[in-house]
Structure formats: structure tokens, C-alpha cells
Amino acid sequence: MLIATSRGFKRFSACTKTGALQSPTHIISRSATTPTTARPVKQAGPLSTARPSQLLHLPQARNYSHTSKMAPPPLPAGMSKHHIVVLEGVHAEMPPFDFPHTIDIHQRTRPDQVAERIKNATVVIACVVPVTPSDMDAAPHLGILAVMAVGIHWVDKADCMRRGVTVTNCRAGNVDAVSEHFLGLYFASRKRIVQVHNTVTQTDEWHDKGTLTKLWPSGPPLGCRQETLGIMGYGTLGKRIAQLCRAVGFGEVLISERKNATTIREGRVSFDDIIRRASVICVCVPKEDDTLDLIAQKELKAMRPEALVINVARGGIVNETDLARALREGWISGAAADVLEIEPAAPGSGPLTPNLTKETAVPNLTISSHIAWFTQTTIQTYQRLLKEGIEGWVNGTLQESKDKVQDVVVVHNGKMWN
């Protein structure tokens, strides 16, 4: 259990005889007077899965007058005016909040548990588990959905706007970490480091043959100076990746235009040209309707045979079934992904993670567990931005400065910032 104090949180254990945590952490802020205990909840199962350029005023497609005009029922006894529900505390510690509040911290939450857990929340903190409009129907007190992550593809922003629910995220909070991880995946893929490691530690091949260069049957791999990098998604992350790749000596860095674009912006290269020319393709676009299956069979077959595809964006942008086939049949040299369509993954959960008792592993593939963001700096930045967003909403200061809006605000005051 975490107890809020004037200097932060103190941690106390609340375990059963077996040591397993059986209920969410329930915290009462220092301003509350009567403690209360959250109802025991079994440990949840696996997780499922903006910068404002102008203000958009969307039409009132649905009427939410019943939620805005009718007074919500009173919060249960012992809960503060602001009750915070954390749906995925497993990813990072919560920062201390400087306003009277109570808080329930669930380490993990399945989609079918969301509605029940947020029913008394004024503040919901989520990461990747979706909080849907039907979930919000069960939460009459909800005022802010704070996403402790960068990606918000699962948020129905228009619905939140019409409800008057504020949405914040941690925009660009992981750029340094993810761009560095991209380089790690590049070197791991091009140098086949995981395959070499496994061969050395699990076989006698190096000892018996004297070399493992035959792990590259088509010949030696490209070096950095020979690489042509094609970046799909040139936001803050894409720009940082370009900067790092130039610094390590990539021969050419190309910026892709949007797929099917009719005009090519200055400094960009057509999507089809990127597919044909790049030896390394970096996928770092947001997951939206028009980026699903951005790279599939057609694109993979058109790539250079020495091409690498590296996805540090979201699962589903690269078609996993087609990518697995491309790697098995040797259309491209290799691939790496920090993200998968089904997360958390396990053997048999998707085309890139087959059940090895039934089929062979996908060759020349390196996977990390959606952990590119994970550094001390990212955690500290997420905590700061989360705190700024929630406290800004509580204090009515979210739009106090341009920087604050750029850093955290997605939806606020019935308006969408994009």
C-alpha cells in the first residue's frame, strides 16, 4: 500500500499468505480524514491493447445533455472530491499530486474490468488499456482521462470532446529513449546479434567451423555508410532518429511523404520511392486508420533484398502475417519490432511469435517487449507531464501557457487540440 504524505509516498506491503497482491492500492490524500479500503479485486490478466496546430470545433453528432445537466450521484463515503483511478500502475510509479484526493491503484486492468473500476473516478490514469465510450457511460463523475504515454490511438477524442472530458497525454516524453532503441534494434538486426549469441551459447558451430560468417548466406552485411534510411513519420521522434543516424554515419537519410499523396512536399520522397530505395525502413508514424497495414505484402515484395524493416511505432502498422512470410521466404534481409499487434505477446499469440512446438521461429527477426520508452529520463518526464496535466485540470490552468498546451493537452473545454 502507498500512503500519501507531505513529502511523497511511503510504501507498505499488503499481501496474502502466499505473498500475492489481491487488491488495488487505495490511498487517501493528506487532506482527507476518514480512510477507506477498496473492495478486493483479483489480479488482472494480460493487458490488451499533440501538439495543437489549430482548434477544431466538431459538430454535435451525439447529445450528451443527460450527462452534463444531470447531477452525478454522490461519491461513496470516504472518497475525496477528486478520486483518482490508476488502471495500469505496473508501468511506473505515480507522482504525488498536490490537491486533496483519494486514489485506487490497479497494477493491471483488462478491458472488461475498466467500467467497474472507473465508476467513481473523477480522474482516470491509463496507458494502453482502452477506456471506451461505453466505459465512460458508467463513470458519471469523470472529468479527465490522463494517458501516461505518448500514443493515444485508442482514445475516442471526439466522444471525449462532446462529453466535456479533458484528455491529456505525455507528448514527446519518450523521444530520446525510443530513438536510441531504434539504433539498438538496427545494429541487432543488421549484425544479427541475437542469432549469433544463441548460436555461440547453444551450439558448437563456432568451435567446429571457426567462424559464423555463414549466418549471412547472401554475403557480408551493409555498413552504416552504405545504408539508405527511409523514415516513415517525421514528427519529433522521426527527426531525432534522423539526427542520430546521420551522427553514426548513415550514407543517406530520406523522409517519406504520406502514402498515396498526390503532391510531394519539399524535402520529402514519395512513399513508393522510399520502399524501393531504402535499405533500412524506420516506421514511427502514429497508429491511425490510414496507417494500418501501411507496409504489407505489396510493399515488402518491392523492397531491396538487403532491406531491414524496423517498427518502433505501434503494432498493426506493419502487417505481421505478411512480414512473417517475407522473412521466411527471404524477400528482405531482416526486421525488428518493439511493438506487436497483440500485447503482451506470448508464443502462439501472433504471426511473429509462433508456438515453437508447432512451427519454426520466424528467421532474422528481433523483438523487444514494447520497452523502447523505458529509461529513467522517460519515467521522470512522464511523471512530470502527468502531474502537470492533472493538476492543471484541477486548478483550471491547463491553458495558462503555450508550452503546457503543447506538452499535454489533447482535448479540453469541449475542444480538440491536434
* Range from 51-65, 124-138, 383-397 carrying the lowest mean pLDDT: 51-65
pLDDT higher than 80, residue 283: yes
Is the pLDDT score of 110 beyond 80? Answer: yes
The answer for residues whose C-beta is within 8 angstroms of residue 179's C-beta and 6 or more apart is 237, 240, 241, 243, 244
Taking all residues of the chain, what is their mean pLDDT, rounded to a whole number?
Answer: 86
HSE, side-chain direction, 13 A CA sphere, residue 126: 28
Average pLDDT in the 100-127 region?
97
Q: Express each pLDDT in 263-273 by its tens digit.
A: 999 999 999 99
**pLDDT exceeds cutoff 90 at 236:** yes
What is the per-residue pLDDT for 76? 77
Contacts of 286 (CB under 8 A, 6+ apart): 151, 153, 233, 235, 313, 314
Torsion of CA 98, 99, 105, 110, to 10 degrees: -110
Asked if pLDDT for residue 324 goes beyond 50, the answer is yes
More confident residue, 352 or 408: 352
State residue 74's pLDDT score. Answer: 76
Q: What is the structure's pLDDT at 399?
A: 76
What residues does 337 pair with on adjacent strands? 311, 367
pLDDT band at residue 137 under the 50/70/90 scheme = very high
What confidence tens digit (pLDDT) does each residue in 73-100 have? Answer: 777 777 778 999 999 999 999 999 999 9
b (16+ CB within 10 A) / e for 290-326: ebeebbbeebbeebbebbbbbbbbbbbbbbbebbbbb
Is the preceding peptide bond at 133 cis, omega within 30 degrees of 0? no
Lowest mean pLDDT among 48-52, 236-240, 255-259, 276-280: 48-52
Cα–Cα nearest to 149, from 367, 378, 369: 378
Q: How does strand 415-417 pair with strand 55-56? A: antiparallel
CB 318 within 8 A of CB 343: no
Question: Residue 18 has what pLDDT?
Answer: 38
Q: Which residues contact 156 (CB under 8 A, 6 or more apart)?
A: 132, 133
Digit-coded pLDDT (tens) for 141-193: 999 999 999 999 999 999 999 999 999 999 999 999 999 999 999 999 999 99
DSSP string of 15-33, one letter each residue: --TT----S-EEEE-TT--
The residues, any chain, with a CB within 8 Å of residue 333's CB and separated by 6 or more, are 189, 190, 218, 221, 305, 306, 307, 308, 364
Contacts of 97 (CB under 8 A, 6+ apart): 29, 84, 103, 387, 390, 391
Q: Which fold has domain 175-367?
A: Rossmann fold (3.40.50)
Q: Using an 8 Å Cβ cutoff, are 355 and 380 in contact? A: no
- 205: number of Cβ within 10 Å: 14
pTM greater than 0.85? no
Beta carbons of 398 and 412 less than 8 angstroms apart: yes
- The residues with which 56 forms a beta bridge, in sequence order, are 416
Other beta carbons less than 10 A from residue 90's beta carbon: 14
Which residues are CB-neighbours of 235 under 8 A, at least 6 positions away? 284, 286
Residue 6 pLDDT:
39
Q: What is the pLDDT of residues 384-406, one digit of tens each?
A: 999 999 999 999 988 766 666 67
- CATH 3.40.50.720 in the chain is located at 2-173+374-417, 175-367
Nearest Cα residue to 364 out of 241, 219, 215: 215
Fold of the 2-173+374-417 domain? Rossmann fold (3.40.50)
pLDDT at 398: 86
Cα 330 from chain centre: 30
For residue 397, the tally of other CB atoms under 10 A from its CB is 12
Q: Are 168 and 147 in contact (CB under 8 A)?
A: yes
Find out whether 292 and 317 touch, Cβ atoms under 8 Å.
yes
Question: CA–CA separation, 150 vs 378, rounded Å?
Answer: 11
Question: pLDDT above 90 covers what percent of the chain?
Answer: 77
pLDDT for 70 equals 52
